[in-house]
Amino acid sequence: MLDNLGSKFQGIFKKVRGHGKLTEDNIKAALKEVRLSLLEADVNYRVVKDFVNKIKEKAVGENTLSGINPGQQFIKIVNDELTELLGGTNARLTKAHRGPTIIMLAGLQGAGKTTFAAKLAKYLKKNGEKPFLVGADIYRPAAMKQLQVLGDQIGVPVYYEEGSKDAVNICETGVKKARAEEATYIILDTAGRLHIDENLMEELNQIRKKVRPQEILLVVDAMIGQDAVNLASSFNETLNIDGVVLTKLDGDTRGGSALSIKAVVGKPIKFIGVGEKLEDIELFHPERLVSRILGMGDVVSLVEKA
Amino acid sequence: VKTREGLFGKMKTLFSGRSVIDDEMYEELEDLLIQSDIGMDMTLKIVGELEKEVKKRGIKDPNLVYDVLKDVMEGFLIAEGTELEVNKPGMNIVLVVGVNGVGKTTTIGKLAAKFVKEGKKVVIGAGDTFRAAAIEQLEEWADRSGADIIKHEQGSDPGAVVFDTLKAGKNRNADVVIIDTAGRLHNKNNLMKELEKINIIIKKHVGDTSYESLLVIDGTTGQNGLSQAKVFNEVTQLSGFVVTKLDGTAKGGIVFAISEELKKPIKFIGVGEGIEDLREFKSKEYIDAIFE
Ligand SMILES: Nc1nc2c(ncn2[C@@H]2O[C@H](COP(=O)(O)OP(=O)(O)OP(=O)(O)O)[C@@H](O)[C@H]2O)c(=O)[nH]1
Ligand SMILES: Nc1nc2c(ncn2[C@@H]2O[C@H](COP(=O)(O)OP(=O)(O)OP(=O)(O)O)[C@@H](O)[C@H]2O)c(=O)[nH]1
Ligand SMILES: [Mg+2]
Ligand SMILES: [Mg+2]
């Protein structure tokens, strides 16, 4: 495991304290540490390369702002750039102008889609909405039962067809039922699938065409490694996703895949999952994930100490 | 229909596309290894070992490095004890643990089917009493495989389920008892304590004899896999690993760091959601698959 990047920076920049400028020379070691730290956090190696080059460009020749030393300046640049990369676009959940908002969830097997569907329903209900769940996983054993149990726990209606072989049809019928019940949000839980499974990807495409969801969210396990970019670009190609949900951030993973995904598909992260319970859902805050990815507890206090 | 383009298809051209062995070649190799989740430390170890071997064997032709690399990487995987020990006379116990959603329950279904097919009497214990419909999911797998299942209600004490499963296994003269557990993140103390209790119950039961304690690792996992392995090993003294979801594009490269750190074998790999999609682990085939 990597030691705190912050303390490493402090060591590196002690030597350049006196200098007023960041130069290619005096930031070399620091850039190397940034690279290593990002790779250890599972940021895709190509994304890391681009990012490190960008930081270098930004930093070299920069005059130190008054009152802070080069080390602080460098950390600030890294931190700001990462935060911008991770945030930026509007990360709010869509709401349809008229009628119910349809949200479709998609992702690899076991990512946390079904759990998130229920978490989101609970969250929406608390905010005065009328959510409705549709179970379109016709493959995984007891998948529909799982959604039904969760729906019962939060008092949200669930539509599914036990034994059905047609996920597209379930979604169409489910949406009709939800409209009839005047739901304001309809959440479609789909089966987990590999991005290279053409048949199953086409199934998602069909659902999208038939029910026209306003919001398609890719649910991603925060522990995923370098493959995150393949996954995100394939799902985005097929579905033109609107955003990303990062689950299982209650673990000790650094979650660098978020950075890879954002860099590759440019879609915002909207929610994070921070536990198995249905209240363990949070809005995404880029600056928090940045300190986590960098392995620096609190960047601001670090800048003060440097 | 699945199409997969091997990341390591590039590996061959990396070596064949050049005339000399130089630093640049090793650097490009590092990039490729990192892309497969092998991690920085392990990548440097592999490349360092490779350089040593290439020198030792006096290799000058880059084309020949390809096979040396395969050897070196295979050397980092544990070759002994890759078979699951379930053929002892009496009741053999397999405990399956891991973080959330990696494929524990599915792997148990596949294993049960395999053992039943071999003519064994199999009893499965529904030790995940937490997740919604976890018990129903396992029941479906018991049905498919032809194994017995022992279950309590959702929300009940998993330790009690394990205890009852062992008892039932004995009464029914089971050859193999497989215990499912709830997914849990290794940094959750209370959940790891619960697992420790389960482990103690099994230990008490088996006395001095051994049992299989398998950690399931999702093949798409990045560097976090290593800390998963370390912590689960402390709590349940693993006998080996199962790596799942290798039918995707991820290469499961983190297993090299895990093998190096814990010196324990991979026993099975999961290559799909179907009942047959389980393979015995063979290091040579694994390396070939990575390189394909
Ligand atoms: N610790 C933790 N566990 C989570 C979180 N989200 C989901 N899980 C767990 O992850 C596992 C898989 O979750 P599911 O919701 O079944 O995942 P899925 O994507 O629907 O899975 P498939 O339908 O099989 O593709 C379950 O054990 C969940 O309890 C989270 O934010 N934190
Ligand atoms: N593609 C693929 N999917 C798999 C494989 N093994 C399991 N899965 C899928 O991964 C998802 C999670 O599998 P489970 O067996 O429920 O995982 P688990 O570890 O028991 O999950 P929890 O009990 O919630 O922690 C399901 O959709 C499985 O069908 C595999 O080898 N390949
Ligand atoms: Mg699901
Ligand atoms: Mg399970």
Q: Which pairing describes strands B122-127 and B176-181: parallel, antiparallel, or unpaired?
A: parallel
Å from CA of B248 to ligand 1 middle: 19
The pLDDT of residue A295 is: 74
Ligand 1 nearest atom to the CA of residue A274, by list position: 31
Q: What percent of chain A has pLDDT above 70? A: 87
Output the pLDDT for position A19.
55
Say if residues B13 and B28 touch (Cβ distance below 8 Å): no
Q: How far is A28 from B176, CA to CA, in rounded Å?
A: 58
Tell me the C-alpha to C-alpha distance, in Å, between residue A139 and each of A126, A163, A304: 31, 9, 54
Contact criterion met (CB below 8 Å) for A287 and B135: no
β-strand pairing of B148-150 with A243-247: unpaired
Chains A and B form CB pairs within 8 A to the count of 148
Cβ contacts of residue A232 below 8 Å, gap of 6+? A218, A220, A244, A260, A261, A264, A265
Does the CB of B4 have a partner CB in chain A at under 8 Å? yes
Q: Tell how strand B278-280 and strand B266-270 pair up.
A: antiparallel
**For residue A273, how far is its CA from the centre of ligand 1 (angstroms)?**
9
- According to the 3-state scheme, what is the secondary structure of chain A? CCCCHHHHHHHHHHCCCCCCECCCCCCHHHHHHHHHHHHHCCCCHHHHHHHHHHHHHHHCCCECCCCCCHHHHHHHHHHHHHHHHHCCCCCCCCCCCCCCEEEEEECCCCCCHHHHHHHHHHHHHHCCCCEEEEEECCCCCCHHHHHHHHHHHHCCCEECCCCCCCHHHHHHHHHHHHHHCCCCEEEEEECCCCCCEHHHHHHHHHHHHHHCCCEEEEEEECCECCCHHHHHHHHHHHHCCCEEEEECCCCCCCCCHHHHHHHHHCCCEEEEECCCCCCCEEECCHHHHHHHHHCCCCHHHHHHHC
Residues 244-283 of A with CB under 8 A from B: 248, 250-254, 256-257, 276
Residue pair A71/A14 in contact by the 8 Å Cβ criterion: yes
Task: For residues A294 and A289, give the distance between their C-alpha atoms in angstroms, rounded to a whole number.
Answer: 8
Among the listed ranges A62-71, A188-197, B21-30, B36-45, which one has the minimum average pLDDT value?
Answer: A62-71
- Residue given tokens 């072989």 in the structure block: A165
A72 pLDDT higher than 70: yes
Residues in chain B predicted with pLDDT less than 50, given as ranges, are: 1-4
**What Cα–Cα distance (Å) separates residue A260 from each residue in A39, A85, A86, B110, B207?**
11, 10, 9, 34, 48
Q: Is A202 in the pocket of ligand 1 (CB under 6 A)?
A: no
Q: Is A149 on the interface with B (CB under 8 A)?
A: yes
Q: Where residue A139 falls among pLDDT bands split at 50, 70, 90? A: very high
A266 or A61: whose pLDDT is higher? A266
Closest of B193, B191, B163 to residue B93, by C-alpha: B163
Using only the alpha carbons of chain A, give its radius of gyration.
22
Q: What is the pLDDT of residue A155?
A: 98
pLDDT class of A64 with cuts at 50, 70, 90:
low
Report the pLDDT value the prediction gives residue B270, as an integer from 0 to 100: 96
Laid out side by side, the sheet with B148-150 consists of B148-150, B122-127, B176-181, B92-97, B212-218, B240-244, B266-270, B278-280
Mean of all residue pLDDT scores within chain A: 90
Q: Is B40 on the interface with A (CB under 8 A)?
A: yes
Q: Which amino acid is at B174?
A: A
Percent of chain A exceeding pLDDT 90 equals: 71
Residues of the binding site of A for GTP: 107-114, 189-193, 247-250
**B195-245, pLDDT tens digit by residue?**
999 999 999 999 988 899 999 999 999 999 999 999 999 999 999 999 999
B188 contacts: CB under 8 Å, gap ≥ 6:
A250
Rounded to 5 degrees, φ, ψ at B175 are: -85, -35
Q: CA A168: distance to chain centroid?
A: 26
- The crossing angle, in degrees rounded to 10, of helices A28-40 and A286-294 is 110
The string of DSSP codes covering B101-145 is TSSHHHHHHHHHHHHHHTT--EEEEEE--SSTTHHHHHHHHHHHH
Q: Is the pLDDT of residue A196 over 90?
A: yes
Q: 10 Å Cβ neighbour count for A282?
A: 15
Answer yes or no: pTM beyond 0.90: yes
Closest residue to atom 21 of ligand 2, CA basis: B101
Going by C-alpha positions, the residue among A81, A28, A79, A45 that lies closest to residue A294 is: A79
All residues of chain B having their beta carbon less than 8 Å from the beta carbon of residue A252 are: 185-187, 224, 227
Q: In this complex, do A256 and B253 lie within 8 Å of one another by their Cβ atoms? A: no
**Dist. CA B169–CA B115, nearest whole Å:** 14
Instruction: Find the mean pLDDT for residues A32-61.
Output: 91
Residue pointed to by tokens 């928090």: A288
Q: How confident is the model at residue A65 (pLDDT cuts 50, 70, 90)?
A: low
**Quick one: CA torsion of B19, B23, B27, B33, rounded to 10 degrees?**
70
Per-residue pLDDT, A306: 44
- Give the pair of three-digit tokens for residue B10: 């590039």
- pLDDT band per the 50, 70, 90 thresholds, residue A70: confident
CA dist list (Å): A18 to A15, A77, A306: 8, 19, 13
In B128-245, which residue ranges form alpha helices assigned H by DSSP? 134-145, 158-171, 189-206, 224-236
| pLDDT recorded at residue A1 | 35
- Compute the CA torsion angle B253, B258, B259, B263 (nearest 10 deg): 180
Whether chain A has a CB inside 8 Å of the CB on B31: the answer is yes
pLDDT of residue B2: 42
What does the block give as tokens for B46?
Answer: 């592999």
The pLDDT value recorded for residue A154 is 98
pLDDT for the residue numbered A6: 62
